Amino acid sequence: MVFRSIYNPLTITSSVIEVKNTNKGTKTWAVKYQGPIRLTNSGGSERFHNFYLTNHHVEFNISDRPIHQYQGKSYYVIVFDGQIQLAEAVY
């Protein structure tokens, strides 16, 4: 598996997702927080938070905690339209 690093700061609230893109400025989409869910696989289950993009009719999920390790770092997992994205929390 090959990972390609992209730096696009992402802010998610219960009503908005905002992505800062260095080429096109900031993009904002309306979302609806639908609550926590559990996703399972052969390794067990994890708690995720489920969101719905209201204008695009698409759901996506974000892990409750960093659950994926890559090159010594822990990442949150975002499952969007069948794709897995890794996200690092910045405080």
Domain ranges, ordered by start, for the chain: 10-87
Helices H, strands E: what count in the chain?
0, 8
Residue 34 has pLDDT above 80, yes or no: yes
Residue 59 has pLDDT above 80, yes or no: yes
What would the mean pLDDT of 52-60 be, rounded to a whole number? 93
Q: Residues 75, 61: contact at Cβ < 8 Å? A: no
Q: How far apart are CA 8 and CA 20, in angstroms?
A: 5
pLDDT, tens digit, for every residue of 38-51?
988 777 899 999 99
Write down the pTM of the prediction: 0.82
CA dihedral 44, 47, 10, 12 (to 10 degrees): 160
- Separation of alpha carbons 35 and 85, rounded Å: 20
